[in-house]
Amino acid sequence: MKLISEKRFQLYYILVAIILTTVLGVFYYNNQKAKSSSDSAEHAQEVLRKNDNVLLDILDIETGVRGYIISENDVYLETFNNAVKAMNRNLSDLSVLTYDNTAQNIQVDSLKIMTGKKLVLLQKIIDDRKFELLDENEKIAILKDGKVITDEIKSIISKINIDEYNALKLRKSENENSIQNSEILFFLLLILIFVVFTLVFIIVKSLKVRNDELELFTASQKLLSNYSLSLIEASLDPLITINIDGKITDMNEATVKITGVKREELIGSDFFNYFTHPNMAREVYEEVFANGFVIDSPLTLCHKDGKLTDVLFNGSVYKNDVGKVLGIVIVARDVTKQKQAALYTRSILEASLDPLVTINAEGQITDGNHALMTVTGIPLENLIGTDFSNYFTEPERARQAYIQVFEKSFVSDYALTIKHLNGKLTDVLYNASVYKDDKGEVLGVFAAARDVTSQKMLSNYSLSLIEASLDPLVTISIEGKITDMNEATVRITGMEREKLIGSDFFNYFTEPQMAREVYQEVFAKGSVADSPLTIRHKDGKLTDVLFNGSVYKDPQGNVLGVVIVARDVTAQKLLSNYSLSLIEASLDPLVTISIEGKITDMNEATIQITGMERELLTGSDFFAYFTDPQMAREVYQEVFAKASVADSPLTLRHKNGKLTDVLFNGSVYKDDQGNVLGVVVVARDITDQKRIETELIEAKVFAELATGIAEEEKRNAENATLTAENAVKAKQQFLSNMSHEIRTPMNAIIGFTKVVLKTDLTSKQKEYLNAIKMSGDALIVLINDILDLAKVDSGKMSFEKTPFKVKSSISSMLHLFETKIQEKNLKLIKEYDPNIPEVIVGDPIRLHQIILNLVSNAVKFTTIGKITVRVCLIDEDAENVTIEFAVTDTGIGIPKEKLASIFDNFQQASSGTSRIYGGTGLGLAIVKQLVEPQGGSIDVLSKVGEGTTFSFRLSFQKTTAEAELETEILELDKGSKNIKVLVVEDIPLNQLLMKTLLDDFGFERDIAENGKIAVEKMQKNSYDVILMDLQMPEMNGFEATEYIRTTMNSKIPIIALTADVTTVDLAKCKSVGMNDYIAKPVDERLLYSKIVGIVRKPSSKKVKEIKKNIAPKNEKCIDLGYLNSRTKSNPKLMMEMIAAYLQQTPPLVTAMKESMLNKDWVLLKASAHKMVPSFSIMGMSQEFEDMAKKIQSYTGNMEDQKEELDNLVLQLSKVCNQACEELEIEFNNIKNKNL
What SS3 string covers 875-941?
Answer: EECCCEEEEEEEEEECCCCCCHHHHHHCCCCCCCCCHHHHHHHCCCCCHHHHHHHHHHHHCCEEEEE
Boundary of a domain, candidates 691, 725, 745: 691
Q: List strands edge to edge, sheet with 676-685.
A: 599-602, 590-594, 676-685, 659-670, 644-653
pLDDT at site 710: 46
* 381 within 8 A of 366, measured Cβ to Cβ: no
Whether 966 has a pLDDT exceeding 50, the answer reads no
Please, what is the average pLDDT of the chain? 78
- Name every residue whose Cβ is closer than 8 Å to that of residue 616 and which is 6 or more positions away in sequence: none
**Hey, what's the torsion of the CAs at 1071, 1076, 1079, 1082, to 10 degrees?**
-150
Burial class (CB in 10 A: 0-12, 13-18, 19+), 706: exposed
DSSP 567: E
* 783 within 8 A of 742, measured Cβ to Cβ: yes
- Distance, CA of 571 to CA of 569 (rounded, Å): 5
- Distance, CA of 300 to CA of 277 (rounded, Å): 8
User: What is the number of H-type helices and E-type strands within the chain?
Assistant: 39, 32
In this structure, the answer to whether residues 241 and 180 fall within a common structural domain is no
Per residue in 537-576, pLDDT (tens digit) is 999 899 888 888 888 887 788 888 888 888 887 755 443 3
Whether 85 has a pLDDT exceeding 80, the answer reads yes
Angle at 553 between CA 550 and CA 559, to 5 degrees: 80
In this structure, the answer to whether residues 911 and 837 fall within a common structural domain is yes
- Name every residue whose Cβ is closer than 8 Å to that of residue 207 and which is 6 or more positions away in sequence: 6, 9
In this structure, the answer to whether residues 997 and 1088 fall within a common structural domain is yes
pLDDT at site 256: 87
- Name every residue whose Cβ is closer than 8 Å to that of residue 62 and which is 6 or more positions away in sequence: 122, 150
Q: How many CB atoms lie within 10 A of CB 283?
A: 13
- Distance, CA of 830 to CA of 867 (rounded, Å): 9
- Name every residue whose Cβ is closer than 8 Å to that of residue 920 and which is 6 or more positions away in sequence: 782, 785, 786, 906, 914
Residue 790: inside a domain: no
Whether 337 has a pLDDT exceeding 80, the answer reads no
In this structure, the answer to whether residues 953 and 847 fall within a common structural domain is yes
> Cα–Cα distances in Å, from 322 out to 85, 224, 326?
11, 20, 11
The residues with which 896 forms a beta bridge, in sequence order, are none
In this structure, the answer to whether residues 286 and 361 fall within a common structural domain is no
Of residues 1092, 1096, 1058, the one with CA closest to residue 1074: 1058
Long-range contacts of 1155-1158 (CB under 8 A, 24+ apart): 1156/1202, 1156/1205, 1156/1206, 1156/1209
In this structure, the answer to whether residues 369 and 329 fall within a common structural domain is no
- Distance, CA of 491 to CA of 989 (rounded, Å): 68
Tell me the longest C-alpha to C-alpha distance in the chain: 168
Higher pLDDT, 785 or 809: 809
The residues with which 1026 forms a beta bridge, in sequence order, are 982, 1054
The separation between CA 561 and the C-alpha centre of its own chain, rounded to angstroms, equals: 39
- Distance, CA of 926 to CA of 935 (rounded, Å): 15
Residue 344: inside a domain: no
> Cα–Cα distances in Å, from 833 out to 271, 397, 515, 811, 1197?
107, 63, 62, 13, 54
Of these ranges, 218-232, 252-266, 326-340, 688-702, the one predicted with the greatest mean pLDDT is: 252-266
Model confidence at 869, pLDDT cuts 50, 70, 90, reads very high
pLDDT at site 577: 36
- Distance, CA of 464 to CA of 677 (rounded, Å): 11
pLDDT at site 915: 41
In this structure, the answer to whether residues 874 and 922 fall within a common structural domain is yes
Whether 138 has a pLDDT exceeding 80, the answer reads no
- Distance, CA of 295 to CA of 300 (rounded, Å): 15
pLDDT at site 698: 47
The residues with which 681 forms a beta bridge, in sequence order, are 591, 666
Whether 22 has a pLDDT exceeding 80, the answer reads no
Residue 713: inside a domain: no
pLDDT at site 1234: 74
In this structure, the answer to whether residues 424 and 462 fall within a common structural domain is no
Model confidence at 1111, pLDDT cuts 50, 70, 90, reads very low
pLDDT at site 334: 80
Residue 710: inside a domain: no
Model confidence at 1044, pLDDT cuts 50, 70, 90, reads very high
Whether 1100 has a pLDDT exceeding 50, the answer reads no
Whether 301 has a pLDDT exceeding 70, the answer reads yes
Whether 173 has a pLDDT exceeding 90, the answer reads no
pLDDT at site 160: 82
b or e along 1128-1159 (b: 16 or more beta carbons within 10 Å of the residue's beta carbon)?
A: eebeebbbbbbebbeeebeebbebbbebbeee
pLDDT at site 110: 86
Of residues 709, 688, 713, 696, the one with CA closest to residue 488: 696
Higher pLDDT, 254 or 35: 254
- Distance, CA of 372 to CA of 643 (rounded, Å): 36
Of residues 467, 568, 462, 585, the one with CA closest to residue 522: 585
Angle between helices 923-931 and 763-793 (to 10 degrees): 50
- Name every residue whose Cβ is closer than 8 Å to that of residue 484 and which is 6 or more positions away in sequence: 466, 474, 475, 501
Q: What is the CATH number of the domain that holds 178?
A: 1.20.120.1730
Model confidence at 692, pLDDT cuts 50, 70, 90, reads very low
b or e along 91-105 (b: 16 or more beta carbons within 10 Å of the residue's beta carbon)?
A: bbbbbebbbebeebe
Of residues 933, 655, 997, the one with CA closest to residue 795: 933
Residue 1113: inside a domain: no
Per residue in 916-947, pLDDT (tens digit) is 444 445 668 888 888 888 889 999 999 888 99
Of residues 430, 425, 402, 436, the one with CA closest to residue 415: 430
Residue 773: inside a domain: no
In this structure, the answer to whether residues 155 and 190 fall within a common structural domain is yes
Model confidence at 709, pLDDT cuts 50, 70, 90, reads very low
Whether 31 has a pLDDT exceeding 50, the answer reads yes
* 816 within 8 A of 822, measured Cβ to Cβ: no
Looking at 71-75, 924-928, 1067-1071, which range is the least confident one?
71-75
Higher pLDDT, 166 or 967: 166
pLDDT at site 771: 56
- Distance, CA of 315 to CA of 331 (rounded, Å): 6
- When computed from its CA atoms, the radius of gyration of the chain, rounded to whole angstroms, is 49
pLDDT at site 1112: 42
In this structure, the answer to whether residues 1225 and 1160 fall within a common structural domain is yes
User: In the predicted model, what is the mean pLDDT of residues 128-144?
Assistant: 64
- Distance, CA of 469 to CA of 492 (rounded, Å): 13
Residue 723: inside a domain: no
Q: List strands edge to edge, sheet with 239-243.
A: 248-251, 239-243, 325-334, 308-319, 293-302
Q: What is the CATH number of the domain that holds 1223?
A: 1.20.120
* 1153 within 8 A of 1171, measured Cβ to Cβ: no
Model confidence at 728, pLDDT cuts 50, 70, 90, reads low
- Name every residue whose Cβ is closer than 8 Å to that of residue 900 and which is 6 or more positions away in sequence: none
Model confidence at 1102, pLDDT cuts 50, 70, 90, reads very low
Higher pLDDT, 958 or 8: 958
Boundary of a domain, candidates 675, 691, 707: 691
- Distance, CA of 583 to CA of 580 (rounded, Å): 8
Angle between helices 29-71 and 75-97 (to 10 degrees): 150
**Hey, what's the torsion of the CAs at 567, 568, 573, 577, to 10 degrees?**
-10
Per residue in 826-866, pLDDT (tens digit) is 999 999 999 999 899 988 878 887 888 888 888 888 989 99
- Distance, CA of 1133 to CA of 1064 (rounded, Å): 42
Whether 98 has a pLDDT exceeding 90, the answer reads no
- Name every residue whose Cβ is closer than 8 Å to that of residue 611 and which is 6 or more positions away in sequence: 654, 655, 656, 658
Boundary of a domain, candidates 1095, 1128, 1143: 1095
pLDDT at site 1043: 93
- Distance, CA of 1015 to CA of 1033 (rounded, Å): 14
**Total structural domains in the chain?**
8
Whether 200 has a pLDDT exceeding 70, the answer reads no
Q: How many CB atoms lie within 10 A of CB 1032?
A: 23
Higher pLDDT, 1122 or 808: 808
Q: Which domain covers residue 604, as residue numbers? A: 586-691
Q: What is the CATH number of the domain that holds 556?
A: 3.30.450.20
- Distance, CA of 1087 to CA of 755 (rounded, Å): 14
Residue 724: inside a domain: no
In this structure, the answer to whether residues 444 and 462 fall within a common structural domain is no
- Distance, CA of 88 to CA of 1193 (rounded, Å): 78
In this structure, the answer to whether residues 807 and 911 fall within a common structural domain is yes
* 612 within 8 A of 655, measured Cβ to Cβ: yes
pLDDT at site 1007: 94
Model confidence at 1167, pLDDT cuts 50, 70, 90, reads confident
Write the DSSP string, 1065-1107. Answer: HHHHHHHHT--EEEESSPPHHHHHHHHHHHHH-HHHHHHHHHH
User: In the predicted model, what is the mean pLDDT of residues 697-725?
Assistant: 53
User: What values do phi and psi take at 969, rounded to 5?
Assistant: -70, -35
Of residues 1203, 1191, 1200, the one with CA closest to residue 1162: 1191
DSSP 354: S
- Name every residue whose Cβ is closer than 8 Å to that of residue 1167 and which is 6 or more positions away in sequence: 1148, 1151, 1152, 1155
Whether 408 has a pLDDT exceeding 60, the answer reads yes
User: In the predicted model, what is the mean pLDDT of residues 498-519?
Assistant: 89
- Distance, CA of 786 to CA of 258 (rounded, Å): 76
Residue 950 host element (H or E):
strand 947-958
Of residues 1021, 1078, 1013, 1092, the one with CA closest to residue 1050: 1021
Sign of CA dihedral 554, 555, 558, 559: positive
* 498 within 8 A of 511, measured Cβ to Cβ: no
